[in-house]
Structure formats: structure tokens, C-alpha cells
Amino acid sequence: MLKYFRGSKLQSYFTKILKENLKAIFKRQHDLACDLLDKTDELSNQDQIYESFDLSNVKDRQISDLSGGELQIFTCAMVCMQKEDIFVFDESSSYLDIKQRLKVALAIRNVIRENRYIIFVEHDLSVVDYLSDFICVLYGSPGHYGVVTMPFSVCEGSIEIKILLIFS
């Protein structure tokens, strides 16, 4: 696999996975919001996160009781408090209005630092455009087959997406 991706950013990513002990995070669902934020605050930025994401109405509630939008904002906020090598966001803008989408996208963009990888699945092309350095387009038939393109620049990838939308 390393030979196939030689000379690309993916080669350095896969090499890092092979040689280092990378750590990934995932979403917990059965805690109080404030307790989970206390446990995950590795960057000592909890006050800033509470303010940035306006979590005052969420912090004393069970995570399982949060609405879809509240849960999206909470989990993105929780991720922004951690020192990790790999971040995976799946539809981070689901259930959010445009103002909330912008707030979450800004926070995710602030998490991106050198030697960190962020993988996200997103259907909102404005979020994709804002967050991406490179994109891979996936197309196919759910449960049957799928094709993943090689990485494109955002501009090239947007053209590829438009072409796929025209012909599908």
C-alpha cells in the first residue's frame, strides 16, 4: 500500500500509522455532558469551548437526552478539547442550521494543526469547501459497490462532484 501512495500525503499518513502509536477518539453516549467534558479536556480549553459552542444549556443534561443538533454541537466541542492524531467526523453539520454549521466548521478548522489528520464525511459542499485541503469522492450503490477517487484538490474535487451529479 505504501508503494501505491508513494509521494503523497497518504504515504506519510500510513507510515505514521505503521510506525507510531496513533490514538483515535469516538463518541460516548451514557454520561452527563459536563462529566464527559471534564474527562476529555486535554487542552485545558474547557471555558473557551463552553463559550464558543454556547454549551450552557447542555452541560447538566444526560448526553442521551440531547436533541440531534445539541448532540452534534456537543460532540464536536468535545473533540475540540482533545489532543489526538486522527479526527473522524461523520456528517458534522447534520441537524444544524446555517449559523451552527459555520460555528462548528470554524471550530474544526481551528483543531487542524500540522501532523494531525481530519477525515470527515460530509454532504454539505460549503462545509467541504471550507474544511478541505484534499477530497476523495465516493460513488456507487449502497450495499453493492463503491468507488473512491484518488485525492483531488478542493477545486478539482468540486468539479468531479458536479460531473457526477450531472450524470447520476
Q: Could you read off the pLDDT of 88-125 as tens digits, one per residue?
A: 888 888 889 888 888 888 887 876 666 778 888 888 88
Amino acid making up residue 18: L
Cβ-count burial of 94 within 10 angstroms (0-12 exposed, 13-18 middle, 19+ buried)? middle
Residues 120, 122, 126, 127, CA torsion sign: negative
The model's pLDDT over 10-37, given as tens digits with 9 standing for 90+, comes to 788 788 877 876 666 665 667 788 888 8
Confidence at 149, pLDDT banded by 50, 70, 90: confident
- Let me know whether 116 and 138 are in one domain: no
Q: What is the largest CA-CA distance in the chain?
A: 50
Q: Determine, yes or no, domain membership for 129.
A: no
Q: Are residues 46 and 99 in the same domain?
A: yes
Domain hosting 14: range is 1-124
In degrees and rounded to multiples of 5, residue 47 shows phi and psi of -60, -45
pLDDT exceeds cutoff 60 at 167: no
Structure confidence at residue 168 (pLDDT): 47
Q: Are residues 19 and 71 in the same domain?
A: yes
Please report, for the domain that includes residue 67, its CATH number.
Answer: 3.40.50.300
Please report whether residue 142 resides in a domain. Answer: yes
Can you give the pLDDT at residue 165? 53
Q: Are residues 144 and 89 in the same domain?
A: no
Do 145 and 116 lie in one domain? The reply is: no
Exposure class string for 128-146: b at 16+ Cβ within 10 A, else e? bebbbeebebeeeeeeeee
